[in-house]
Amino acid sequence: MKHRTSNFLVTAPGSESECVDKTRSRRRFIKRVSLLAAAIPFASMVAQPARAQADVADSVQALVFDVFGTVVDWRASIIREGQLLAARKGYDVDWGEFADRWRSGYGPAMNKVRTGELPWTKIDDLHRMILDELVVEFGLTGMTEDELDHFNRAWHRLSPWPDTVAGLNRLKTRYIIATLSNGNVSLLTNMAKNAGLPWDAVLSAELAGHYKPDPEAYLKAADLLGLRPEQVMLVAAHPGDLRAAARTGMHTAYVIRPLERGPGRPVDRNPDGEFDYTAEDFLDLARQLGA
């Protein structure tokens, strides 16, 4: 029998099991509430990046692409061109090392322009300066001027990664797509023609008179497209390039190209989540952007 005294429930003797059942029920209820409360912040943390990414995808109107290493496989392409040259000329050269050395001369050559040691110089001409030194170093004797010029223009004939063309075509259904490379306009145009790259526009650091990662290169690209920096996303395989673009207000998409510098090289997979998107290739990026 139960008697209600004031606001308290008094249980008559003999109903101990009822008290135990109610205690257990209260404990189960409290546990469920605690679990739900703990889950809410976690769910918010999971949902927030997804909402933020959706907002970025909707606000961006154009994707601009780094080219060397991001869109095209420069290393394998230069190795192939070297092997073709060796077949004609009989050279015995480690073309992987040659390709790496040619590419590694690119940064120091651009710095000569930045410091005023050289006037503004197209990448084609910087490539030729580096090549002339390598020809001597690697003993590529007996090359005519026409052969040297043709070999230097190997950078116009670089092959795309397997996903590049299909991925660009998908991305193009939703966004303006354009290059944003240190390569000069004629180089990028010839490359697009050779590789079937479906650009809406060919933009180059040449148009700004500043190489990336100078901020002028990124800002000029946005301006030429008639957009604000925050309406543009840089797509690149190089974190330094992406960080420089982000400092100008652009959004960023990091595409991982583990074979850019050959097999067995360490790969930065954006562990800190500093870029808006991280993708395995252009098709993965298109999927994430809803294209």
Residue pLDDT, tens place only, 57-80: 999 999 999 999 999 999 999 999
In the listed set 107, 140, 156, which residue is the last one of a domain according to the structure?
Answer: 156
133 and 188 belong to one structural domain: no
144 and 256 belong to one structural domain: no
147 and 172 belong to one structural domain: no
Do the domain assignments include residue 5?
A: no
pLDDT band, residue 32 (cuts 50/70/90): low
In the listed set 104, 133, 156, which residue is the last one of a domain according to the structure?
Answer: 156
Do the domain assignments include residue 14?
A: no
The DSSP 8-state label assigned to residue 68 in this structure reads: B
Do the domain assignments include residue 184?
A: yes
283 and 195 belong to one structural domain: yes
Let me know if 1 is exposed, middle or buried by CB neighbors in 10 A (0-12, 13-18, 19+). exposed
Q: What pLDDT, in 10s, does the model give residues 77-90?
A: 999 999 999 999 99
pTM confidence score:
0.82
Q: What pLDDT, in 10s, does the model give residues 211-263?
A: 999 999 999 999 999 999 999 999 999 999 999 999 999 999 999 999 999 99
d(CA 207, CA 172): 23
Q: What is the CA radius of gyration of the chain?
A: 29
pLDDT band, residue 1 (cuts 50/70/90): very low
CA proximity to 151, closest of 71, 205, 68, 79: 79
244 and 178 belong to one structural domain: yes
109 and 125 belong to one structural domain: yes
pLDDT band, residue 28 (cuts 50/70/90): low
What is the residue range of 280's domain?
58-72+160-289
Is the pLDDT score of 188 beyond 70?
Answer: yes
- At position 15, the amino acid (one-letter code) is S
203 and 276 belong to one structural domain: yes
Span 164-190, mean pLDDT?
A: 98
Q: Is the peptide bond before 213 cis (omega within 30 degrees of 0)?
A: yes
Span 254-277, mean pLDDT?
A: 89
d(CA 27, CA 21): 10
62 and 79 belong to one structural domain: no
135 and 211 belong to one structural domain: no
Helix-then-strand count for the chain, H and E: 11, 8
Do the domain assignments include residue 125?
A: yes
62 and 182 belong to one structural domain: yes
* 3-state helix vs strand vs coil in the chain, percent to 5: 55, 15, 30
Which CATH number do you get for residue 280? 3.40.50.1000
Is the pLDDT score of 275 beyond 50?
Answer: yes
- What per-residue confidence (pLDDT) applies to 35? 45
87 and 68 belong to one structural domain: no
Span 130-152, mean pLDDT?
A: 98
Do the domain assignments include residue 183?
A: yes
Do the domain assignments include residue 83?
A: yes
Which CATH number do you get for residue 140? 1.10.150.240
- What per-residue confidence (pLDDT) applies to 47? 45
86 and 171 belong to one structural domain: no
Do the domain assignments include residue 143?
A: yes
In the listed set 124, 156, 188, which residue is the last one of a domain according to the structure?
Answer: 156
Q: Do residues 178 and 64 lie in contact, with contact meaning Cβ atoms separated by under 8 Å? A: yes
Do the domain assignments include residue 36?
A: no
Q: Do residues 239 and 254 lie in contact, with contact meaning Cβ atoms separated by under 8 Å? A: yes
Give Dmax (Cα) for the chain.
Answer: 113
- What per-residue confidence (pLDDT) applies to 7? 43
Total domain count for the chain? 2
pLDDT band, residue 26 (cuts 50/70/90): low
Is the pLDDT score of 197 beyond 80?
Answer: yes
